[in-house]
């Protein structure tokens, strides 16, 4: 069995143009990057995929100048943050924000709603699960960008506040303050589901 | 690694449990392959562009050299002066030619 190569070693190989090392790096971090982009941009689909690909292309280009001064994931998430913030600012300027699910043109039915449930739940359970999922997504999407990022990195990526501070370029106090405000907002928006989640 | 959690600083157990039920989407199938394909595509495009950019400078330098050579070749030579006598002789020759032409034409 081949010992797992560290991200830093992979970056060293990528610097020399090793595409196989790059493929390993992508496969290792694709869910993390895609999930973060999806949560920040809202939804999933071609735009999210394109931004996630842009992140990795930037990693490839930056490999020549990459210095392992911080944890690789911290650096990677900083790249994600910069790209997502730039893209959302561009999108806001174009004013073409549309948070709805993709809809079947013929039936008008939500494509996400009719997708088979991966966990094998009954249609009724799946429906209430999707409702909950959508409520959480919407509540997160309504948070200001910085709060959304802090919540995502802490909740889903399990990052320390110090790391989040490095990614967002904020002090520890500022990050904790954002987390506090996000918690208060989420509590209000999801109050209807909080008792039932136990 | 288990992260240290503080309910005061974090979302709180209840909210965390709720958010855990809606985990973010995973990357689609073939994501890595598609990213690598896009990388190759962009490298080909950028390679072509850098070749053109490189040659553009060669073309520009060549054109600048030609213009400079023409300017140098065309400028009046130092010390080259035409005397009045030469100018009058040239004018006389023109008048003479004109008179001959008129004579031959029977005018």
Quick one: pLDDT at residue B78?
67
Residues of chain B with pLDDT under 50: 1-2
Taking phi first (over 0 means left), then psi (-120 to 50 degrees means alpha), and beta for anything else, what does residue A67 get?
A: beta
Q: In chain B, what residues touch A164 (CB-CB under 8 Å)?
A: none
Interatomic CA distance for residues B52 and A147, integer angstroms: 45
Identify the band that residue A119 occupies on the pLDDT scale cut at 50, 70 and 90.
low
Interatomic CA distance for residues B1 and B27, integer angstroms: 23
- The answer to whether the beta carbons of residues A153 and A77 sit under 8 Å apart is yes
Fold held by A117-191: Arc Repressor Mutant, subunit A (1.10.10)
Q: Residue B32 and residue A26: Cβ atoms within 8 Å? A: yes
Contact pairs from chain A to chain B, CB under 8 Å: 108
Interatomic CA distance for residues A20 and A4, integer angstroms: 14
CA distance A16 to chain B (A): 15
Quick one: pLDDT at residue A92?
76
Q: What is the pTM of this model?
A: 0.68
Quick one: pLDDT at residue B46?
80
Residues of chain A with CATH 1.10.1740.10: 1-98
Interatomic CA distance for residues A153 and A167, integer angstroms: 10
pLDDT digits (tens, 9 = 90+) for A19-65: 999 999 999 999 999 999 999 988 778 889 999 999 999 999 999 88
Looking at domain A1-98, which CATH architecture does it have?
Orthogonal Bundle (1.10)
Interatomic CA distance for residues A174 and A57, integer angstroms: 31
């Amino acid at each position: 069995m081949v010992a797992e190569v560290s991200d830093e070693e992979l970056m060293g190989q990528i610097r020399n143009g090793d595409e196989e090392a790059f493929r390993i790096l992508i496969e290792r971090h694709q869910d993390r990057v895609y999930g973060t982009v999806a949560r920040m941009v809202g939804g999933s689909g071609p735009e999210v995929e394109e931004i996630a690909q842009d992140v990795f292309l930037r990693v490839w280009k930056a490999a020549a100048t990459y210095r392992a001064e911080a944890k690789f994931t911290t650096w990677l998430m900083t790249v994600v943050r910069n790209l997502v913030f730039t893209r959302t600012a561009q999108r806001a300027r174009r004013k073409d924000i549309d948070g709805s699910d993709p809809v079947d043109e013929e039936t008008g039915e939500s494509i996400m709603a009719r997708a088979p449930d991966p966990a094998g739940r009954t249609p009724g359970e799946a429906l209430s699960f999707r409702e909950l999922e959508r409520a959480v997504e919407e509540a997160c999407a309504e948070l200001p960008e910085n709060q959304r990022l802090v919540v995502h990195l802490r909740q889903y990526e399990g990052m320390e506040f110090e790391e989040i501070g490095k990614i967002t370029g904020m002090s520890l106090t500022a990050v904790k303050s954002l987390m506090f405000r996000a918690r208060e907002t989420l509590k209000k928006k999801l109050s209807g589901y909080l008792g039932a989640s136990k | 690694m288990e992260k240290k959690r503080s309910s005061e600083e974090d979302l709180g157990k209840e909210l965390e449990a709720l958010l855990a039920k809606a985990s973010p989407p995973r990357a689609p199938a073939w994501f890595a392959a598609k990213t690598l394909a896009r990388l190759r595509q962009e490298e080909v495009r950028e390679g072509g562009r850098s070749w053109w950019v490189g040659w553009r400078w060669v073309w520009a330098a060549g054109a600048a050299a030609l213009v400079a050579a023409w300017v140098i070749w065309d400028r009046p030579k130092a010390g080259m002066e035409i005397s009045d006598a030469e100018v009058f002789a040239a004018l006389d020759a023109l008048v003479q030619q004109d008179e001959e032409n008129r004579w031959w034409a029977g005018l």
